[in-house]
């Protein structure tokens, strides 16, 4: 089993050192673990975002990746049975392409997730910002918000900075339930063309099992979206637990892998942002 979405304590909302996760990975017999700490570079959210190094908060644009890569290298030496990969989960909004591209050029990442965590600088994935979201967006209506989310998703694929889009239908977490069925109807009508665009961009999609830990029957994205994506021609799919503590490492990944196998797809593995062979199951 492999886990391609893991937050060590470099992420401000996560606990557990890189070493603690690797210990857990050894216990579980995981073959590969790709750390994907948060990188949230939006200058408009400078007051909300930080990175932690040895428990100390540092600005997102500081040299924290030096400590991150050093810790990954130390773990690689200490846990030879686990392949330890260097990844990052980039919080993307249109307009951040230059900052993100400069950042990614500076460091030898194996894997880069692009995530829509915010709409117009307000988090849609954090419960503590939900009230702010409601103030800004409830009057806008379900169609507007659904379209805005898909606009961001399309831009994330179009910028071609990311290997995979993280938790593609994360609006299921908080946003969708704020609205009536017009939200889902708008998503359903627009998503096929967005997925066509994602496929053409060469961007992959991750299957994120954290939805299952939160009591959902299906991962992010839902199975019908995964099938649409496969049919649209998306070539790369990864699986990740989105663990924010070592106890959640690898949780429910069998379900995510099974969802892909049902579509004739194997979870992808990457090194230095290049796909390893055998991503597809021969039929
Ligand atoms: Zn995320
Ligand atoms: Zn994450």
- Which domains are present in the chain? 2-275 (3.20.20.140)
pLDDT digits (tens, 9 = 90+) for 214-236: 999 999 999 999 999 999 999 99
Are 131 and 174 in contact by the 8 Å Cβ rule? The answer is no
Ligand in closest contact with the CA of 13: 2
Q: What is the pLDDT of residue 150?
A: 98
Are 49 and 12 in contact by the 8 Å Cβ rule? The answer is yes
Tell me the CA–centroid distance for residue 5 and ligand 2, in Å.
6
- Averaged pLDDT score across all residues of the chain: 96
Q: What is the pLDDT of residue 277?
A: 82
Query: What does the angle CA 163 – CA 235 – CA 201 come to, to the nearest 5 degrees?
Result: 60
Q: What is the mean pLDDT of residues 167-178?
A: 96
HSE toward the beta carbon, residue 137, CA cutoff 13 A: 27
Q: What is the pLDDT of residue 186?
A: 98
Measured in residues, the chain has a length of: 283
Decide which of 174 and 279 is more confident.
174
Tell me the CA–centroid distance for residue 90 and ligand 2, in Å.
9
Kindly indicate the confidence band of residue 283, based on its pLDDT and cuts at 50, 70 and 90: very low
Are 135 and 109 in contact by the 8 Å Cβ rule? The answer is no
Tell me the CA–centroid distance for residue 283 and ligand 2, in Å.
32
Tell me the CA–centroid distance for residue 39 and ligand 2, in Å.
10
Kindly indicate the confidence band of residue 180, based on its pLDDT and cuts at 50, 70 and 90: very high
Tell me the CA–centroid distance for residue 265 and ligand 1, in Å.
23
* Interatomic CA distance for residues 196 and 234, integer angstroms: 8
% of the chain exceeding 70 in pLDDT = 98
DSSP category for residue 274: E
Tell me which H or E stretch contains 70.
helix 64-78
Tell me the CA–centroid distance for residue 166 and ligand 2, in Å.
8
Tell me the CA–centroid distance for residue 6 and ligand 2, in Å.
7
Q: What is the mean pLDDT of residues 109-127?
A: 96
The pTM of the full predicted model, rounded to 2 decimals, is 0.97
Tell me the CA–centroid distance for residue 213 and ligand 1, in Å.
15
Ligand in closest contact with the CA of 244: 2
């Amino acid at each position: 089993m492999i886990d391609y979405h893991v937050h060590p304590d470099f992420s401000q909302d996560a606990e557990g050192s890189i070493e603690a996760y690797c210990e857990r990975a050894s216990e579980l017999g995981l073959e590969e673990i790709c750390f994907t700490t948060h990188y949230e570079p939006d200058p408009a959210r400078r007051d909300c975002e930080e990175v932690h190094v040895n428990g100390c908060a540092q600005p997102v644009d500081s040299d924290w990746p030096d400590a991150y890569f050093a810790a990954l290298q130390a773990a690689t030496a200490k846990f030879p049975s686990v392949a330890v990969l260097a990844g990052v989960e980039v919080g993307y909004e249109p307009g951040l392409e230059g900052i993100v591209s400069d950042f990614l050029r500076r460091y030898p990442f194996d894997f880069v997730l692009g995530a829509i965590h915010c709409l117009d600088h307000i988090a849609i994935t954090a419960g503590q910002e939900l009230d702010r979201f409601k103030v800004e967006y409830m009057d806008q209506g379900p169609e507007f918000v659904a379209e805005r989310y898909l606009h961001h998703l399309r831009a994330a694929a179009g910028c071609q900075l990311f290997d995979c889009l993280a938790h593609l239908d994360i609006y299921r977490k908080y946003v969708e339930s704020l609205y009536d069925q017009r939200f889902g109807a708008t998503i359903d009508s627009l998503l096929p063309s967005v997925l066509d665009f994602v496929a053409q961009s060469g961007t992959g999609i991750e299957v994120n099992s954290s939805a299952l830990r939160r009591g959902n029957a299906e991962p992010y994205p839902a199975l019908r979206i995964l099938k649409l994506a496969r049919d649209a021609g998306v070539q790369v799919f990864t699986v990740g637990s989105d663990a924010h503590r070592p106890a959640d490492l690898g949780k429910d990944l069998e379900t995510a892998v099974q969802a892909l196998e049902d579509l004739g797809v194997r979870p992808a593995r990457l090194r230095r942002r290049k796909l390893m062979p055998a991503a597809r199951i021969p039929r």
